[in-house]
Amino acid sequence: MKLPPDVTAANFAAAVKRFQSVVGPEWVFVSDEGVNLYRDAYTPFRGEPDEYIPSGGIGPNSVEQVQEIVRIANEFKIPLWPVSTGRNLGYGGAAPRMTGTMVLDLKQINRVLEVNDSLAYAIVEPGVSYFDFYRHLQDNHHKLWLDCPDPGWGSVIGNALEHGNGHTPYQDHFDFHCGMELVLANGELMRTGMGALPNSPSWGTFKYGFGPHISPMFSQSNFGIVTKMGIWLMPEPEAVKNYLVAVPAKTDLVPFVDTLANLMARGITDTNWAIGSPILTSQNPKIAALVASGAPTEELERAGRDANLGYWGTRLRFYGPPEIIDAQWKYAWEHLSAAIPGATFKLAASFTFPMDRDSIEEPPDDVFGKTALGIPSLSIFSLGGTTRRDGHIFFSPIIPMSGREMAKAQVIFPQAFKDLGMKPPELVGGWSWFKRNLVLLMPMTISKDPAENKKMRENYRSLIKIAAANGWGEYRTATAFMDHVMDQLSFNNHALRRYHETIKDAVDPNGILAPGKSGIWPKRYRESHT
């Protein structure tokens, strides 16, 4: 049993009894077997004493129960780590940042409260996963699509709060949220946006409300527990088309990214595309051997031309009426052709709707194909093949959507990997989740060997510093690295972190909610953890 800091066993037992009286004894988990279900399956501290282990889990089934739990937690100074569906794998799973914190498991608060077909929004609770939400929309014949992140078991609310993304024009999930209900650290209930106006029909339509727009303060933070949220949905498009674009030379990267960035700023394409390299990641044994041998660029480019593979490539997805897609594509094609001699273009997939989406099969050439049609899936876990794996975390810095920055990243990170004694990635891929930016994704694997994990953690921290030295910060990170990522945002003697702490101490004086989330420590734990 890992008790919360400064809480006696007797007080903890008394608090557990009170929690049991609120949710029923079967929904408070403090046995070893119960606690184990809340540990991070992908922890980078596997088998080490530093793993963040919760003291237990509590599974309420109503907002009123959450309020009561928070009041009791204040009374007994029990820290709580709220999770929505608890599937934040690679970022800490359902486990807290601080050992001894109790996990407040909201999975059973899982109703879709409203779906508005004409204004295309819904109000949902935190336990609603993308799988649940898709089923609800399908079974009730709503002609609305949700934008899915890659793993479909995530929470619609949780993913938005963590700044998660999908593939359609609605890809930036937090950007498409609208109004929240929260349980505050004192147990009080609050609504933001027009949710604050009783019986307002604008909760799901007008996110700003009146006065300071504070909803974003509750994303990636520990200032409140979100119990309801509005989310905008996409009316079913008449068509979806995917086009593959490839460019032949290594030096084409700069005009390629710059042209795509310009298309995005103009709204010609507003979906998720990624910069990849058909040559460097080719499964063709001859080309793969050439890449592995460290062949010179000219040779790789020649092999690429012979095999009809670009040095760089992307897939552009368009959604809407076919006539508008055709016009968007014509504009994109003309501008990419003009900017990059030898660019090639190919229609990869075309769908028209309405059709029975439940019957859509996974396309063999596009692991995200189904997800990009608003159908939740777990296909992303198949990346990496069938070799047994024990988890992963991502190092994911943000760079501006600029060719120069992207080309620089292709030099900086492979060199950093080499210097740190790791196998450098063939390329550093970039994703257009947040307009005007690329998110670089570099997976790091979890091992059963604590020595390997220790080295990985050191390397991860070094990469955070190397990125920061180039002006690049992370968009999201695993609990193990939240302090390190926040440390880099150091302008004016960490004014931002100090402001977070000022807010934290004002709204949560007992430090009950998610201590350590995003590097924000409440006063009572600050000295011992920073």
- 327 touches other proteins (CB under 8 A): no
CA distances from 284 to 246, 280, 291, 305 (A): 17, 10, 11, 14
Binding region for other proteins (CB under 8 A) out of 89-97, 212-220, 349-357, 506-514: 89-97
* Binding positions for other proteins, 140-179, rule CB under 8 A: 152-153
Location of structure tokens 């920061």:
468
Among 4, 22, 30, 42, binds other proteins (CB under 8 A): 42
Q: Which two tokens stand for residue 108?
A: 């059973």
Location of structure tokens 């990997």:
417
- 321 touches other proteins (CB under 8 A): no
At a CB cut-off of 8 Å and minimum separation 6, what does 58 contact?
Answer: 19, 23, 27, 28, 29, 69, 80, 102, 103, 104, 105
Q: CA angle, 187 as apex, 193 and 94 as ends, to 5°?
A: 85
- 349 touches other proteins (CB under 8 A): no
- 310 touches other proteins (CB under 8 A): no
Q: Return the number of the residue (33 or 527) whose C-beta is nearest other proteins.
A: 33
Q: Which two tokens stand for residue 26?
A: 């079967």
DSSP characters over 163-188: T-B-SSTT-BTGGGEEEEEEEETTS-
Binding region for other proteins (CB under 8 A) out of 179-187, 361-369, 399-407, 480-488: 361-369
Q: Return the number of the residue (198 or 364) whose C-beta is nearest other proteins.
A: 364
**Side chain identity at 139, as an amino acid letter?**
D
Nearest alpha carbon to residue 107 among 51, 162, 65: 65
CB of 367 to other proteins, least distance (A): 6
Q: Return the number of the residue (127 or 515) whose C-beta is nearest other proteins.
A: 127
Location of structure tokens 């000022």:
502
CB of 59 to other proteins, least distance (A): 4
Binding region for other proteins (CB under 8 A) out of 7-15, 37-45, 393-401, 450-458: 37-45
CB of 376 to other proteins, least distance (A): 8
Q: Which two tokens stand for residue 379?
A: 């296909």
The answer to whether 173 and 163 have CB atoms below 8 angstroms apart is yes
The answer to whether 450 and 465 have CB atoms below 8 angstroms apart is no
Binding region for other proteins (CB under 8 A) out of 157-165, 319-327, 389-397, 509-517: 389-397
* Binding positions for other proteins, 53-82, rule CB under 8 A: 57, 59
The answer to whether 420 and 369 have CB atoms below 8 angstroms apart is no
Binding region for other proteins (CB under 8 A) out of 101-109, 329-337, 460-468, 511-519: 101-109
Among 158, 374, 391, 403, binds other proteins (CB under 8 A): 391
Q: Which two tokens stand for residue 503?
A: 């807010």
What values do phi and psi take at 45, rounded to 5?
-110, 25
Among 359, 386, 492, 493, binds other proteins (CB under 8 A): 386
CB of 63 to other proteins, least distance (A): 16
* Binding positions for other proteins, 107-136, rule CB under 8 A: 107-108, 127, 131
3-state DSSP of 107-142 = CCCCCEEEEECCCCEEEECCCCEHHHHHHHHHHCCC
Question: Within 13 Å, how many C-alpha atoms sit on residue 413's CB side?
Answer: 28
The answer to whether 497 and 526 have CB atoms below 8 angstroms apart is no
At a CB cut-off of 8 Å and minimum separation 6, what does 123 contact?
Answer: 112, 113, 114, 203, 204, 228, 229, 230, 231
Among 12, 38, 256, 481, binds other proteins (CB under 8 A): 38
Q: Return the number of the residue (26 or 527) whose C-beta is nearest other proteins.
A: 26
- 199 touches other proteins (CB under 8 A): no
Location of structure tokens 């000295």:
527
Q: Which two tokens stand for residue 297?
A: 């660029």
Q: Return the number of the residue (107 or 484) whose C-beta is nearest other proteins.
A: 107
Q: Which two tokens stand for residue 483?
A: 């302090």
Among 382, 415, 502, 528, binds other proteins (CB under 8 A): 382
- 377 touches other proteins (CB under 8 A): yes
Among 105, 181, 301, 483, binds other proteins (CB under 8 A): 105
Q: Return the number of the residue (386 or 493) whose C-beta is nearest other proteins.
A: 386
Location of structure tokens 């390397």:
459
Which residues belong to the active site? 91, 475-476
- 197 touches other proteins (CB under 8 A): no
Among 21, 36, 297, 308, binds other proteins (CB under 8 A): 36
Among 3, 7, 37, 190, binds other proteins (CB under 8 A): 37
What values do phi and psi take at 431, rounded to 5?
-115, 140
Binding region for other proteins (CB under 8 A) out of 13-21, 105-113, 232-240, 254-262: 105-113
Q: Number of residues interacting with other proteins: please give it, by CB under 8 A.
A: 40
| Sign of the torsion angle spanned by Cα atoms 352, 358, 360, 362 | positive
Among 63, 89, 336, 406, binds other proteins (CB under 8 A): 89
Which residues are near other proteins by CB under 8 A? Answer: 27, 29, 33-34, 36-38, 41-42, 57, 59, 85-87, 89, 93-94, 105, 107-108, 127, 131, 152-153, 361-362, 364, 367, 376-379, 381-382, 386-391
